[in-house]
């Protein structure tokens, strides 16, 4: 999507169109409508309310990679944990907080909402 947009703008400049501002404006409007329509359709098809963020948004490419090296992470103390799994139930992103490895499933999906930290009855989940 991003590459196609860059290519489209490049072609517009190479054609040296006199009404480039009008073409760019309507392209912007049409592009946004298509962009969000595809995101909404994907959310319904994949039954994932963040399908747009995961599969379409170009920023995800950078954020997902950076999240592996993030210093700000929710962690769990396995010694304090009583395995009630309340942290898993309240997590809106279905992140398994109890798995402390950087390669954990959905580990890059954490949005740092701190619901898991608030819900832990023993204080085993911390930031």
Residue 8 lies in a domain: yes
Domain range spanning residue 102? Answer: 72-127
> pLDDT of 55-79, one tens digit each?
777 777 777 777 777 777 788 888 8
How does the average pLDDT of the chain come out, rounded? 82
What is the per-residue pLDDT for 107? Answer: 61
Which SS3 state, helix, strand or coil, does residue 120 take? coil
Residue 103 lies in a domain: yes
More confident: 62 or 120: 120
Is the same domain home to 46 and 23?
yes
Express as a percent the part of the chain with pLDDT over 90: 11
- pLDDT for 104 beyond 90: no
Is the same domain home to 46 and 89?
no
76: CATH = 3.30.70.20
More confident: 1 or 46: 46
Is the same domain home to 76 and 124?
yes
Contacting residues for 70 by C-beta, under 8 A, at least 6 apart? none
pTM: 0.56
User: Other C-beta atoms within 10 Å of 96: how many?
Assistant: 16
Is the same domain home to 76 and 123?
yes
What is the per-residue pLDDT for 85? Answer: 87
């Amino acid at each position: 999507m991003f590459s196609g947009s860059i290519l489209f703008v490049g072609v517009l400049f190479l054609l040296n169109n006199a009404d480039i501002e009008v073409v760019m404006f309507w392209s912007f409007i049409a592009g946004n409508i298509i962009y969000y329509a595809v995101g909404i359709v994907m959310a319904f098809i994949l039954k994932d309310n963040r399908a747009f963020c995961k599969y379409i948004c170009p920023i995800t490419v950078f954020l997902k990679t950076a999240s592996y090296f993030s210093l700000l992470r929710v962690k769990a103390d396995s010694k304090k944990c009583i395995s009630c799994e309340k942290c898993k139930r309240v997590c809106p992103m279905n992140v398994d907080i109890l798995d402390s490895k950087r390669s954990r499933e959905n580990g890059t999906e954490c949005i740092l909402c701190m619901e898991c930290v608030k819900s832990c009855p023993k204080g085993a989940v911390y930031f």
